[in-house]
Amino acid sequence: MSQEVENIQPSYPLFRNDEYKESLANKREAYEERHPQEKIDEVFQWTTTKEYQEVNFNREALTVNPAKACQPLGAVLCALGFEKTMPYVHGSQGCVAYFRTYFNRHFKEPVACVSDSMTEDAAVFGGQKNMMAGLENAKALYKPDIIAVSTTCMAEVIGDDLNAFINNAKKAGHVEQDFPTPYAHTPSFVGSHTTGWDNMFEGMLRYFTLNHMDDKKVGSNGKINLVPGFETYLGNFRVMHRMMKEMGVDYTLMSDPSEVLDTPADGTFRMYAGGTTQAEVKDSPNAIDTLLLQPWQLEKTKKFVQNIWHQPATAINIPMGLEWTDEFLMKISELTGKPIPASLELERGRLVDMMTDSHTWMHGKKFSLYGDADFVMGMTKFLLEMGAEPTDVLCNHANKRWAKAMDKMLKDSPYGQKTVVHVGKDLWHFRSLVFTNKPDFMIGNSYGKFIQRDTFYKGEEFEVPLIRIGFPIFDRHHLHRMTTLGYEGAIYMLTTLVNAVLEQLDKETKGMGTTDYNYDLIR
């Protein structure tokens, strides 16, 4: 059963060889207390019924695949967006290994992040010693300009005080008194990755601006601040840079990890690359306004901008699709006095042309989708613009105000009248919905592939294909470089969606002499 150097095979098709199939069958027979296949199939079929869905939706004490990650993950991504910043997690080493691995698998890039490796003794006596040694070692080894500290469950359960620990480490000389160490408490057992991003970003603003507001004046630098929130499509950072430059707008994109998460393979390792500078953060209270590109996940940031910086944080929707991109650019134009250039008008026209070309294939198609609050809202809006019909829309960590806003948006469209919004539900709930209210497609991250496989197991006619848009995307390559914001993002999303529809149509009409009708060379 050993591999041969001349013919190294991956697990598939290796495990399909007879010797491996025999070995796995023997293991199952000898060591697994497995129910008969007939019973497994009986239970499986029951879990696809309306009766089971009612039982499933009544559970309270269990979450099955919540369609979210924990707070420190978001804090790490936020910190990576600032120039020469080392994310530092006060907690166990295993937690940080998880965060790094999660991002490694999505971005296909090395991700810098350190831990002070709390173990059992720190859980009993507190982690101050770990903090002192960790800050000193991180600064000496990796030479960052900023160390951004967040926490995990262990540190939060025992009540470690980051402010006290960091100040004590500085007083003891482990790092200089003026060395930048912004921090945020990010307990993993509440909130989500978007909450953690918001907390860490507010911690950055607090550290660099809270006690330095005396000489600040709103509008004095003539800039617009753009806050992306938890954003994992690197093209979205780049499209914001491009649109602002084409408009001639002076701006600051606050937390931009697009360079450090997309470094070239040219023989040089870059632990730090790009990012928002300290000078830009310190100057940000002088901006005309701060626009939150994902407002439903940036509540803490919004309050800080309004209460401390005294900027309006003008309300906008995530700039996805046609109408909300229009609104975003018109708001930028209104705030800055800069006209929308002909180049962006041409880009908008191309999008409208594409929507016209493709609407006949998208019209009436049914989609179920899940993900983060702003992304799901923006995607739903775009589907409605195309005449598609969302069936079930799920966001685990959204709130009732978001659900109310979603319901209003859906009721305002003829294509959203039958859509049901689900808050606080997980992917096992979503699986039930896909079976009992079968859509044509699902939209979501890589975890949806297991739901697709379950639908296929019931029978090919029940299969619901997954369109991978969201985070994380582990099982496809390079989608994280794509764009979902602006006209460019709408063009990418439309291309992805309509070609998924056409791919499925080809799958359903490939039978020679049986289903290959309707002049299907041309769509």
> Which of these is catalytic: 43, 55, 64, 157?
157
Q: Are 289 and 282 a contacting pair, CB within 8 Å?
A: no
- For 438-462, give the DSSP string: --SEEEE-GGGHHHHHHHHHH-GGG
Question: Cβ-count burial of 411 within 10 angstroms (0-12 exposed, 13-18 middle, 19+ buried)?
Answer: exposed
Question: Cβ-count burial of 168 within 10 angstroms (0-12 exposed, 13-18 middle, 19+ buried)?
Answer: middle
What is the C-alpha separation between 403 and 378, in angstroms, rounded?
13
The length of the chain, given as a count of residues: 523
> Which of these is catalytic: 153, 218, 420, 423?
153
**153 included as an active-site residue:** yes
Q: What are phi and psi of 522, to 5 degrees?
A: -115, 130
Residue type, 396: N
Q: Hey, what long-range contacts does 219-222 have (CB within 8 A, 24 or more apart)?
A: 219/286, 219/287, 219/288, 220/286, 221/250, 221/283, 221/286, 221/287, 222/250, 222/288, 222/336
Q: Are 208 and 255 a contacting pair, CB within 8 Å?
A: no
- Residue 367 in 3-state DSSP? strand
List 227's β-bridge partners, or say none: 292
Residues whose CB is less than 8 angstroms from the CB of residue 16 and which lie 6 or more positions away in sequence, other chains included: none
Among 95, 94, 100, smallest CA distance to 80 is for 100
**95 included as an active-site residue:** no
Tokens of 324: 């909300």
Among 499, 468, 462, smallest CA distance to 484 is for 468
Helix H or strand E encompassing 395: strand 389-395
- For 118-147, give the DSSP string: --HHHHHH-SHHHHHHHHHHHHHHH--SEE
Scanning the structure block, which residue is given the tokens 């079930």? 392
| Residues noted as catalytic | 153, 157
